[in-house]
Structure 1
Amino acid sequence: MNQENVDYLKEQVMYAGYGDTFHQELEARIKEQPEEFNLQYETNFGNDKVVSQLNFSRSNKEDSDFYFFNSHKLELTKEGEPVMKQQFNIYNGSNITLKEAYNLMCGRAVNKTLRNKEGELYNTWIQLDFKHTDKYGNYLQQKYNEGYGYDLEEALKKYPISELENPMYEANLVESLKKGNPGRATLTGPDGKEQKVYLVANPKFKSVTLYDTNMERIGHRRRENQEKKEAKSQKQAQRPEGEESSPSAQKKPRKRRAKSL
């Protein structure tokens, strides 16, 4: 058994968001020298259940005892929704962690520094495209690189967020949003009235999306209310022909007889 390789795998698994959960089991499985194996992990994020399968394989080089941590495949179960599956490959120094994978599967965006085919690092925002899948059934990844022009800090400044007055809180908020987490904030209106909200990074539209404390999209709800008002006004305007005129208003004026001289 290659102990240096085992220690490296333990470190990879830990930084992928699984801590030291598999340290002993990982070492025991590698001692058996299988061609490939997987480890199972279960956790919950709120009411959502996540089951992970961590996949490992042995090097195809002859007489090699070197193993690779290839991927972790997640199954997300939300109440009242079909089970969702997505595999995230493991790359040296640019892995999608367990929590980041969960956030992506919830539709949120994650900011990562990745490596291209030439091994060069680049920064990008990642979001899953739930309309398209690859040949393995995984949702495609949409990427918004630095050249796309999304500036999260500038997007936040468009809202009256009181916490942005605290540089430390602002830094923590930005860091959390980059991991795909909803961030808590307080909006302060012109009259001083405060509203508690959740913020989510929205790189596609170079903005942030606001949710209320029940995680209902605020803008979406406003649009629904506006549409209802417009529909009501339109209905009132579309009255049957002649309805607006009263019977008395429809009376024809009397013709006066000319007086004889």
Structure 2
Amino acid sequence: MKQYHENYGYDLEATLAKHPIKELDNNSHKDDLINSLKKGNLQSATFIKDGQEVKQYIEANPQFKSLNIYDDAQKRVDMNQSKGQGESQQEGRNQKESQKAKAGDGDDEGPGDEKQKKQRRKSRSV
């Protein structure tokens, strides 16, 4: 079991404040939740998503200065998954488009380019 001192820089309250947790509105529930998470417990919490209350489980992850969030079946939920996938897909598209543009620029080859190709072929065949 790893222990992290207060000077490590993990602020549990600030991390909790980033999430739409219903229990944070009531001070007594908030204190109970924070104390339980500080002990390393998996704690149930009510998240407000699209106007609906969804019961999930959370645990503090001070090593990565974050929260681990689980659904009812104790399977980990990645809160940034939908955002991350959209960004990575967009980056992939941008890379493919830039590669196509570079390939399109190479269509107008001059006589000097042909010599370079032959030179490369010679160096490859050994």
Identify the TM-score tier after normalising by the shorter chain.
0.5 to 0.7
2:63 is the alignment partner of 1:204: yes
Matched pairs, number: 88
Between the aligned partners of 1:179 and 1:147, the Cα distance in structure 2 is: 17
- TM norm structure 2: 0.60
- TM norm structure 1: 0.30
2:35 is the alignment partner of 1:175: yes
Output the amino acid matched with 2:33: L
Output the amino acid matched with 1:196: K
Deviations 1:149-173 (A, max 9, x none): 1111111111000111111111111
Between the aligned partners of 1:143 and 1:175, the Cα distance in structure 2 is: 15
2:48 is the alignment partner of 1:188: yes
Deviations 1:182-201 (A, max 9, x none): 11111112x31222110101
Partner of 1:21: none
Partner of 2:9: 149
Higher helix share: 2
Q: Describe how 1:102-251 pairs up with structure 2 within 5 A.
A: 128=1, 142-189=2-49, 191-219=50-78, 222=81, 226=85
Between the aligned partners of 1:165 and 1:221, the Cα distance in structure 2 is: 23
Shift >6 Å, 4+ stretches: none
Deviations 1:14-33 (A, max 9, x none): xxxxxxxxxxxxxxxxxxxx
**Displacement of 1:220:** 8.1
Distance 1:220 1:185, change over 3 A: closer
Between the aligned partners of 2:68 and 2:7, the Cα distance in structure 1 is: 21
Between the aligned partners of 1:215 and 1:144, the Cα distance in structure 2 is: 25
Identify the structure with bigger relative contact order (alpha carbons < 8 Å, sequence gap 6+): 2
RMSD (Å), alpha carbons: 2.5
Higher strand share: 1
**Displacement of 1:221:** 9.7
SS at match of 2:67: strand
Output the amino acid matched with 2:72: T
SS at match of 1:181: coil
SS at match of 2:63: helix
**Identity of aligned pairs, percent?**
44
SS at match of 2:74: coil
Flag structure 2 segments of 5+ consecutive residues without an equivalent: 97-126
SS at match of 1:204: coil
